Amino acid sequence: MTLYKNKYRIESARCQNWDYTSNGYYFVTICTQNREYFFGDVVAGKMQLSPVGQIVAEEWQKTAEIRSYIELDEWVIMPNHLHGIIIIKNQPTPPLVETPRWGVSQQEEETFHRNVSTTTMTAKSRLKPKSVGSIIGQIKTACTKRIWKAGFDDFEWQDRFYDHIIRDDRSLHNIQQYIINNPVKWELDKNNPANLYM
C-alpha cells in the first residue's frame, strides 16, 4: 500500500499487459458491503431471491440486452454476492485455447485475478469505456438506484469486485460448474459470513 494525499491506498491489481476492453471471457464476483445478506436465501440448495435480489437479476440480464458487445454466460445470485461470466465481443471473438487432456496447452498462460474498485472518483475517471470495470460500475449504479428507490436505502455494494480472465475451455467449464453448484455448496462458501472465523 502506498501513501497518496496522506491516505493509504490499495495498489491496482490490474494485469498491466491486458486490455480489459478486449474480447474475452471474464469471471466476475460482486459482493454487498460487509457481505450483508440482501439478495435472498439458499433453501434446500436453491437460491430464493428477495425483492433486492430480483432487481439485481433483472439488471444483470439487461446488461446484454442494452450492450450489443456483451454476452452473458452462466451466472448466479447468492445471498450477498453475484457470480457471473461476461463475454466481451468488440471484434469477432477468437476461440478459447483447447487444453489437451494430458496437460497444459503450450499456449495457455497464467490466468490473472484482480480486485478492482468501481466506486472511487479516481477509479471512475480511469475506467475505459466498454471495459469490464466500466460495465460492472454501470451495473452496480443501475442496481443501487433501483434498490434505493424501492426503499432499501441501507443497501451498498463492496467498493471493489473480483475478476478472472478465462483463457481456455477447461477453465471455462470449471468456472461454469462452480457457478451452477454455488447454491448447493453455500454452507462451505467463503462469502458465507458463517465461515469467516472457521
Domain ranges of the chain: 26-94+111-184
| pLDDT above 80 (res 189) | no
Nearest alpha carbon to residue 70 among 56, 90, 84: 90
Predicted pLDDT at 62: 96
Q: How confident is the model at residue 169 (pLDDT cuts 50, 70, 90)?
A: very high
Of 126-135, 168-177, 183-192, highest mean pLDDT: 168-177
Predicted pLDDT at 3: 46
For residue 126, what is its C-alpha cell? 480511469
User: Regarding the domain delimited by 26-94+111-184, which CATH topology (the fold level of the hierarchy) does it fall under?
Assistant: Alpha-Beta Plaits (3.30.70)
Q: Report the distance separating Cα 79 and Cα 50, nearest Å.
A: 9
- The answer, as to whether pTM is greater than 0.85, is no
Predicted pLDDT at 187: 80
Tens-digit pLDDT profile for residues 21-49: 889 999 999 999 999 999 999 999 999 99
Q: Which residue has the cell 457471473?
A: 84
Nearest alpha carbon to residue 25 among 115, 81, 86, 78: 86
Q: Where are the beta strands (DSSP E) in 51-103?
A: 70-77, 81-88
3-state SS class at 105: coil
Tens-digit pLDDT profile for residues 76-108: 999 999 999 999 997 655 566 555 544 444 333
Higher pLDDT, 191 or 149: 149
Predicted pLDDT at 152: 97
Angle value at C-alpha 182, between 169 and 115, nearest 5 degrees: 70
Beta bridge pairs of residue 32 = 157
Of 5-14, 52-61, 100-109, 124-133, highest mean pLDDT: 52-61
For residue 69, what is its C-alpha cell? 458487445
